[in-house]
Structure 1
Amino acid sequence: MTLVEWAELVRNELGLAGTDALEKGDVDRILDLTRDAAHSVARPAGPLTVYLLGVAVGRGADPENAAAVLSRLALAQADEGEESVNV
C-alpha cells in the first residue's frame, strides 16, 4: 500500500470524502515538514507541527504556503542553534 492509498483510506474513515484527495506531492510536502520539524526542533515536533498544519488548512490556509512557512520556521531553529524542545 502506498502512502497516497493509506491517506485515501484514512480520509474515507474520517468522513472526509467531500475533500480533495491527497496526491504524491501533498504526501511529500507533509513528510518533508515532519522531517524538518523533527530534526530541527525535536522529534515530537514533527507530528505536532503537521497536526497544526492540518488545523490551519482546515481553517482555510493554503497547504503549500503554510507548509513552507513552517519548514522555514523549523529550519531556523536549527540554524540558530536553539536547544531541543522539552516535552
Structure 2
Amino acid sequence: MVVTDSLADWNTRLEQQLDGLAELDQDLILDVARQAAHTVARPAAPLTTYALGVLVGSGMTITDARAVIDGLLASWDTDER
C-alpha cells in the first residue's frame, strides 16, 4: 500500500535525521493515537502521542509509557462527564 510505504519511508528519514531518536514503533504509536481519538476526541490523538513521547523522553520505556496512557484512557472511558 502506498500510504504504508510512504509512512515507513518517513519514519526511516526521521530516524536517520534526528540524533538520538530510537527506532519508531509505528504500530504502537498509531494505536495510541487511534485509541485517544476514539475514546476522547479526534484532536486528542496528536496530543496523546506527544505525551507518550514526553514520557519516553523522560526515560520511561515505551511499554511503560503506553501503560500510563492506556490507564488514563481507561479512566476517561469510565469517568462521568
TM over 0.5: yes
Q: TM-score interval w.r.t. the shorter chain?
A: 0.7 to 0.9
From the two aligned structures, give the one with the greater helix fraction: 2
Q: Following superposition, which runs of at least 4 residues in structure 1 exceed 4 angstroms of deviation?
A: none
RMSD: 1.9
User: What is the count of residue pairs matched by the alignment?
Assistant: 77
> Gaps (5+ residues) in structure 2?
none
Q: Distance in 2 between matches of 1:68 and 1:2?
A: 28
Counterparts of 2:8 and 2:70, CA distance in 1: 21
Whose relative contact order is higher, 1 or 2, with alpha carbons under 8 Å and at least 6 apart?
Answer: 1
TM-score (norm 1): 0.71
Name the counterpart of 1:65.
Answer: 64
Unmatched runs of 5 consecutive residues or more in structure 1:
83-87
Q: Report the TM-score, using the length of structure 2 for normalisation.
A: 0.76
**Shift of residue 43, structure 1, vs aligned partner:** 0.9
Residue of structure 1 aligned with 2:10, choices 6, 9, 30: 6
